[in-house]
């Protein structure tokens, strides 16, 4: 499991005076601010991952999980229910070429991992002889015939893309989007939430 995390504890010192006035309600302000800003960061991460990986948005949305900040009330403090962090997590291995819009042509299959269409020579998604190919077969995955002599003997290898969502999440524009939003917008949101709880929305 891989994740991007922002720790709300770093805000405690910056807003120590205001949070001190809020007392037990301080975690409420921080959790609300983290979750509000984190939702914006999540949207940006998903948008960036779609471009970075070449996968459909629906696939990325299913792959990215949110662990939002939470705060416990006084009744549950002993259970350590405060969690002043906002985390986006994902997992998974090398993604099949099936998920990158594969198109079989003579000589192989073209697909678009990371949004760049390229040819994978010697691969196939359909069965039968040209020009009367049928399929896709075997779930629409892309395969290579690994039988000796290249005659069909039922021995195939599944072809993957080399794209790993956990790796992509931690680098490039995706990681930068998360850091940028959490770094540039969170303080203003904390100030806003503190103002609401203190009865001064314009704080």
- pLDDT, one tens digit per residue, over 14-27 is 888 888 888 888 88
What pLDDT is recorded for position 177? 97
What pLDDT is recorded for position 24? 84
Residue 60 pLDDT class (50, 70, 90 cuts): very high
**Rounded distance, CA 81 to CA 94, Å?**
36
> In the chain, where are the structural domains located?
2-92+164-197, 97-158
DSSP the chain: -EEEEEETTHHHHHTHHHHHHHGGGHHHHHHHHHHHHHHHHHHHHHHHHHHHH---HHHHHHH-EEE--B---GGGGGGT--B-EEEEEE---SPBGGGS--EEETTEEEE-GGG--EEEETEES-BSSTTS-B---GGG--EEE-SGGG---S-EEE-B-S--HHHHHTSHHHHHHHHHHHHHHHHHHHHHHHHHHTT-TT-
What pLDDT is recorded for position 90? 97
pTM for the whole thing? 0.85
- 95-151 pLDDT, tens digit per residue, is 999 999 999 998 899 999 999 999 999 999 998 888 888 888 889 999 998 876 656
**Rounded distance, CA 184 to CA 190, Å?**
12
Which is it for the CA torsion 100, 166, 66, 116, positive or negative? negative
Mean pLDDT of the chain: 88
What pLDDT is recorded for position 151? 60
What pLDDT is recorded for position 126? 92
What pLDDT is recorded for position 74? 42
């Amino acid at each position: 499991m891989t994740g991007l995390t922002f720790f709300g504890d770093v805000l405690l010192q910056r807003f120590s005076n205001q949070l001190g006035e809020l007392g037990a309600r301080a975690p409420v302000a921080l959790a609300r601010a983290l979750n509000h800003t984190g939702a914006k960061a999540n949207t940006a991460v998903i948008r960036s991952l779609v471009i970075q990986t070449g996968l459909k948005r629906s696939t990325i949305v299913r792959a990215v999980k949110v662990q939002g900040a939470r705060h416990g009330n006084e009744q549950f403090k002993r259970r350590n229910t405060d969690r002043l962090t906002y985390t986006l997590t994902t997992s998974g291995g090398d993604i099949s070429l099936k998920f990158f819009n594969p198109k079989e042509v003579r000589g192989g299959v073209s697909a678009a991992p990371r949004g760049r269409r390229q040819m994978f020579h010697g691969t196939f998604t359909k069965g039968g002889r040209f020009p009367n190919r049928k399929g896709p077969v075997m779930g629409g995955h892309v395969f290579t015939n690994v039988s000796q002599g290249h005659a069909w003997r039922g021995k195939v290898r599944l072809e993957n893309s080399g794209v790993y969502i956990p790796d992509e999440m931690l680098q490039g524009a995706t990681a930068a989007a998360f850091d940028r939003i959490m770094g540039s917008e969170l303080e203003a949101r904390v100030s806003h939430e503190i103002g609401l709880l203190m009865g001064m929305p314009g704080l």
